[in-house]
Amino acid sequence: MIMVTTDFVAGFRVSDCLGLVRGSTIRAKHIGKDIMAGLRTLVGGEIKEYTEMIVESRAESVRRMEAQAEKLGADAIINIRFVTSQVMSGAAELLAYGTAVKLDKE
């Protein structure tokens, strides 16, 4: 599956637009990691516990979006975007979305 943030794929033309595909996940770290993250805010620097959570969330959201596109028979997903939002304290949603398309070689 070709996945791009642009509205085209070099060397191909979009022959059919199959529609919006998306994948999302809501993740929270357990209390131990939340405590560690809280302590890191006191001394500064990267909060690795939350970085790890967002990386995992992004990967899962992309997998779910790709699975939707495969069910539609897509060759590619174009115009991919990511949105994140806090659902509650310590929990965040990460949404990946794009347009599933069929491609033809130029």
pLDDT digits (tens, 9 = 90+) for 62-90: 999 999 999 999 999 999 999 999 888 77
Residue 25 has pLDDT above 90, yes or no: yes
**Could you tell me the residue ranges of all domains in the chain?**
2-105
Q: What is the pLDDT of residues 31-49, one digit of tens each?
A: 666 666 666 666 777 777 7
In DSSP terms, 103 is beta-bridged to 14
Instruction: Specify the CATH class of 2-105 in words.
Output: alpha beta
Burial class (CB in 10 A: 0-12, 13-18, 19+), 98: buried
Q: What is the pLDDT of residue 92?
A: 82
Whole-structure pTM value? 0.85
